[in-house]
């Protein structure tokens, strides 16, 4: 608390607090993400949305094969990231999920062909 008191007395901090009445010691100024950090945040949202759409697609029988193929591609990417970037033991889990999803996509390939044919009409 004493540190905050010293910070409030400094002219720079006092000026910021007076300029933004919503700024309090409990809610400091937010620094916008820039550059690579913003792109990582956007990529996480896109990947999360794709995973959610894939999970929903697995629940709809005509879309299950296509969703499984998309999720298998996602798990292949996750495996590469886990091995090359994170050096994580989670790669074994992503490899197993990828294999299971590839198997599901393979067994549903005829259903996926019928779906593609129906969409072309």
Q: Where are the domains of the chain?
A: 62-121
Q: DSSP characters for 10-56?
A: SHHHHHHHHH-TT-BTTBPPPPPP-THHHHHHHHHHHHHHHHHHHHH
How many helices (H) and strands (E) in the chain?
6, 0
Whole-number pLDDT of residue 75: 95
Is the Cα torsion angle 16, 19, 22, 24 positive or negative in sign? positive
User: pLDDT tens digits, the chain, 121 residues: what are they?
Assistant: 455 544 455 556 555 556 555 555 555 555 555 676 677 788 889 999 999 999 999 999 999 999 999 999 999 999 999 999 989 889 999 999 999 999 999 999 999 999 999 999 8
Whole-number pLDDT of residue 42: 84
Please give the model's pTM, rounded to 2 decimal places: 0.67
Whole-number pLDDT of residue 1: 47
């Amino acid at each position: 608390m004493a540190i905050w008191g010293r910070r409030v007395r400094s002219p720079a901090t006092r000026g910021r607090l007076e300029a933004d009445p919503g700024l309090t010691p409990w809610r400091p100024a937010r620094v916008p993400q820039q550059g690579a950090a913003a792109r990582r945040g956007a990529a996480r949202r896109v990947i999360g949305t794709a995973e959610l759409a894939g999970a929903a697609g697995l629940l709809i029988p005509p879309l299950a094969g296509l969703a499984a193929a998309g999720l298998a591609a996602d798990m292949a990417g996750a495996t590469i990231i886990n091995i090359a970037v994170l050096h994580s033991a989670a790669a074994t889990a992503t490899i197993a999920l990828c294999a299971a999803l590839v198997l599901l996509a393979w067994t549903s390939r005829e259903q996926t062909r019928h779906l593609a044919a129906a969409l072309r009409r």
